[in-house]
Structure 1
Amino acid sequence: MNEPVPLRPEDRAAFESALSKALAAPDVRAALGRPGAPHTAGELRARALAAADSLAAEASPEYAALLDARSGPAPGASPAGGTGARAAVAVLTVLTPLLSIAAAVIFLLLGYGLRVAGASDPLAGTLVATGWTAAVIAAVTGLAAGAGLAFTAARHRATQGHAQPAPDALAQAHAAWLHALVQRALLPHLRRELGLRDSTPDFTDTPPAPAPGPAPGKRARLGYSRPDFASPDFAGPDFAGPDFTGPARHSSE
């Protein structure tokens, strides 16, 4: 069972937008327009905003999915010892070139200063050799530090790029959360406040069901059809033809 996720401040505006959509439902508007309605639209809005966290908990699975889509893949947790070792290496990487440069400058100045002053040659040579060694160490560690910083910056940019969620996935997660918020949280709450049945269908647009057509293999009659009647049977045995003989002629006497 998913635990309710508290509504974040940046999502309050989306909650208010979903509330406005729920208040615009046909049955809610009709109930608000009837005389003697228990609440006005402003009162319903204020009561729903006051209970925003508890209402948003009804859509907590979709809200958790939205938060996951925003954050992207979670980076793996690193142990404390590994973090301290990396910090120590980073400090040494930065400090070693600086200390080597300072040592090189000091040793070279002392060595060449003793040579100019005509001091003993073994000490001056040792200082000069130590100074040049420190200079080489400073150059090598400086190049290594620069390469490490460039690699770290490139990996950080790549990680940030992969951590960004895909726009389509984020938009789908946001739309799914708003739909669940309206249908499972806000509409039932408003209908309870107004004394409506909670079984009222959603007010989303649904295409009308197609009208049943005629049975297959049977033609439908359109318009007016004449009644069925049969013509008289002129070939029956009882039919007597009309008498076409003329009137009887009387002979004149």
Structure 2
Amino acid sequence: MHMTSAPHLLTEDRPEFERLLDEALRTAHERPELATLGERLNAEQLRTMALGASALLTAAAAAEYDHYVKLREERRDEVLSTPGTAAEENYGGQGSAAGAGVSAVVAVLAPVLAGTAMLIFLLVGYILKMVEPEPAFAETMLTAGWLFGALTAVALLCAVVGLLVTAVRNSATEVAADEDGAMPDEVAQAREAWRYALLERGIMPFLRAALADPNAGPGLPPPRGRGGRMPNLGYTAPDFTSPGSPSEGPRPGYTPPDFTSPDFGGPEHRPD
């Protein structure tokens, strides 16, 4: 379900309108004025009606929204215009990503290479021990093989520890990350003021009016237009009446003239 585009609501803020609407419908049982939810209209019908009237609902908090957008754009311009800020952040992010990539490659390749070397040295060493006379370096090959075996075990242990540390670090970052935490205090306050105004002056009055509308009946799709189930938000259209039908007034007194054709006949009936 996609909401109707409001003329003054930016695309990035439309999901917030839907979230507020869904939250209001979800917690409707906590508000006495919405106690009749489900009798004539259910939550999905109310949601459809509210999305269809989104331009009216968001206009109720237009002043707060304009202030919030203005502060947000000013903050973005400051971040982009600060010398070295964006570049340093991008460089630091790229450096961290490059370092993490190298560490991951080493953690994966070290056990593989050490294990491969262990197998080769042990295999060659045991083959040489079966040769008569036994070469002198057979024991050296076996010793090297067992040494690489120990390195394989250490590399595997380091890789497991690294994976655990990375998982814990990522989980902590996800918990700490918050949508409002990345905003400056002034922008976050403006956003909360817009959300409150949108909920209390736009969404909630609309839901109350829709539930109080006696024309709203169950089981019918919410029509769009006057005289249907769209609640009255204080806007009325002028009444237009068509001109009266011809039967309502006297007909004009007009009669067509009488036309008579001349008498024609044969040559013997020519006029004197």
TM-score where L is the length of structure 2: 0.42
- Highest Rg: 1 or 2? 1
